[in-house]
Amino acid sequence: MEGRDLFVSVLEQMPDGLIVLDNNDKVVFVNKAAEKISDIKKESILGVDVYQCHPEHEKEKLGKALDYLKNKKHEVRRIFHNETNNTTQENLYRAIFDEEGEFLGSLVMTRDISEKYDLDEKKLLLIDQMDDKIKDLRARFQNLFLSSLETLVNTLEAKDYYTKGHSMRVASLCERFLERESLMVPLKQNIIVAAKLHDIGKIGIKESILMKNDKLTAEENEQMQQHPIITAKILEPMDELKDVVEIVRHHHERYDGTGYPDGLKGNAIPFGARLLALVDAFDAMTSVRPYRDSLSFEEAVSQIRNNLGTQFDPQLGEKFLLHLELGDLDLPDFF
Q: What is the pLDDT of residue 335?
A: 43
Residue 316 has pLDDT above 80, yes or no: yes
Q: What's the one-letter identity of residue 27?
A: V
Per-residue pLDDT band at 115 (split at 50, 70, 90): confident
Q: What is the pLDDT of residue 334?
A: 40
Residue 87 has pLDDT above 80, yes or no: no
If you average pLDDT over residues 29-36, what whole number do you get?
Answer: 84
141 vs 174, higher pLDDT: 174
Q: What is the pLDDT of residue 322?
A: 93
Burial 196-225 (b: 16+ CB within 10 A, else e): bbbbbbbbebeeebbeeeeeeeeebeeebe
If you average pLDDT over residues 120-138, what whole number do you get?
Answer: 70
Per-residue pLDDT band at 103 (split at 50, 70, 90): confident
Question: Domain 12-115 sits in which CATH superfamily?
Answer: PAS domain (3.30.450.20)
Q: What is the pLDDT of residue 20?
A: 87
Residue 259 has pLDDT above 70, yes or no: yes
CB 291 within 8 A of CB 186: no
Residue 332 has pLDDT above 70, yes or no: no
Q: Which residues pair with 76 in a beta bridge?
A: 93
If you average pLDDT over residues 235-251, what whole number do you get?
Answer: 91
- % of residues, the chain, pLDDT over 90: 30
Alpha carbon distance 250, 268 (integer Å): 10
In the CATH hierarchy, which fold is given to the domain comprising 141-326?
A: Hypothetical protein af1432 (1.10.3210)
Nearest to 162 by CA among 204, 193, 199, 201: 199
Would you list the domain boundaries of the chain? 12-115, 141-326
Q: What is the pLDDT of residue 95?
A: 84
If you average pLDDT over residues 254-280, what whole number do you get?
Answer: 96
Q: What is the pLDDT of residue 124?
A: 61
Nearest to 50 by CA among 66, 39, 35: 66
- Per residue in 34-44, pLDDT (tens digit) is 888 787 888 88
CB 104 within 8 A of CB 96: yes
Alpha carbon distance 128, 327 (integer Å): 49
CB 34 within 8 A of CB 110: yes
- Select the highest-mean-pLDDT range: 5-19, 136-150, 297-311: 297-311
- The CA-to-CA distance between both ends of the chain, in Å, stands at 107
Neighbours of 19 (CB within 10 A): 25
Residue 6 has pLDDT above 90, yes or no: no
Residue 105 has pLDDT above 90, yes or no: no
264 vs 6, higher pLDDT: 264
Per-residue pLDDT band at 240 (split at 50, 70, 90): confident
Which of 57-66, 128-137, 244-253, 264-273 shows the lowest per-residue confidence on average (mean pLDDT)? 128-137
146 vs 261, higher pLDDT: 261
- % of residues, the chain, pLDDT over 70: 85
If you average pLDDT over residues 149-173, what whole number do you get?
Answer: 74
38 vs 323, higher pLDDT: 323
281 vs 60, higher pLDDT: 281
Which of 122-131, 172-181, 200-209, 214-223 shows the lowest per-residue confidence on average (mean pLDDT)? 122-131
State if pTM tops 0.75: no
CB hemisphere CA count around 12 (13 angstroms)? 7
> Mean pLDDT of all residues in the chain?
83
Q: What is the pLDDT of residue 278?
A: 97
